[in-house]
Amino acid sequence: MYEIEPEGEGYRIIEDGVRPGYSVPGLMDMINKLLALVHSKALSHFGGTLRIHAGYGEREGRRFIVVGDKGTGKSTLMVRLLLSGFRVTGDELVIVKGGEALPFPRRFHIKQGSVPLLPEMAALFETLPWNDTTYGHKMFSFSPMDAGREWKVDAGKIDAVFHLEPNHGKKTYIEECPKYKMVERVMPMTYLSETEDHRKIPAVCRIVDEADCYVLGIGDLGGAVDALHQKMTVI
């Protein structure tokens, strides 16, 4: 059970009556934290289920995930890939069990600052639902179906892992990443239940070992789309 209490300009989330709980600064932060807690509790009932904070896409039958720190442009890139013909089914959470990955079908969140980067969606943004963020900007809620695309999720093996690095204002680059370095990059983005945390490293190693690994330095979105298209075509 979760209780939400006002706290100054923010909120406090109490889980199962246990205090102090979680303090969050604004409405969207509260919603995102609550979703994360609910997801974690629900998935904890399925032993060995790894959760990765990542976008999930497919090109020519080959599946890939995109991981990156907050603010690197992951969600904006995933929407751009969708509009460019990729099959994209998630921008936030990928569930992995038994070597197969399944994107969690949550609506994509697009920051107001990313709107100019998606000019073909200008009219669509007029109709999309949105919330105010802690910083006073809009956060739009978007699904592939809003753009006339299919939104059907299914499980499959991950063929490639891309780690995003910000390179804004410069040229986009892509380079192969040693697998041991990719494990280091993916580990902070993964979650298991507390009782199974010792299994996280072997699970991540298995994913990375079976996939091609790349670092993608995002300069311009068009260049990033071209780079992913090239790599997913030659894999």
**CA atoms of 161 and 122, how far apart (whole Å):** 30
pLDDT of residue 40: 73
pLDDT of residue 151: 92
Share of the chain above pLDDT 70, in %: 93
pLDDT of residue 211: 96
pLDDT of residue 46: 65
pLDDT of residue 135: 64
Structure tokens at 215: 């670092």
For residue 48, the surrounding DSSP H or E stretch is: none
pTM of the model: 0.83
Say which residues have a Cβ less than 8 Å from residue 221's Cβ, sequence separation at least 6: 73, 76, 77, 80, 117
Helix axes 200-209, 179-186, angle to 10 degrees: 130
- CA 58 from centre of chain: 14
Domain(s) of CATH 3.90.228.20: residues in the chain:
48-109+149-234
Using the CB atoms, write b or e for 57-71: b if 16+ within 10 Å.
bbbeebbbbbbbeee
pLDDT of residue 47: 65
pLDDT of residue 98: 81
pLDDT of residue 50: 87
pLDDT of residue 104: 86
95 closest CA partner among 145, 151, 158: 158
In Å, how far are 85, 88, 116, 217 from 75, measured between CA atoms? Answer: 16, 11, 14, 15
Query: pLDDT tens across 40-95, in order?
Result: 777 666 666 888 999 999 999 999 999 999 888 899 999 999 999 999 999 988 99
Beta carbons of 142 and 89 less than 8 angstroms apart: no
Q: Which fold has domain 48-109+149-234?
A: Phosphoenolpyruvate Carboxykinase; domain 3 (3.90.228)
For residue 208, the surrounding DSSP H or E stretch is: helix 200-209
The helix/strand/coil state of 76 is helix
Helix axes 74-83, 221-234, angle to 10 degrees: 70
What pLDDT tens digit does each residue of the chain (235 aa) get? 899 998 888 899 998 888 888 998 888 788 878 887 887 777 666 666 888 999 999 999 999 999 999 888 899 999 999 999 999 999 988 999 888 999 988 889 898 989 999 998 999 999 998 877 666 678 899 999 999 999 999 999 999 999 999 887 889 999 999 999 999 999 999 987 665 667 888 999 999 999 999 999 998 899 999 999 999 986 5
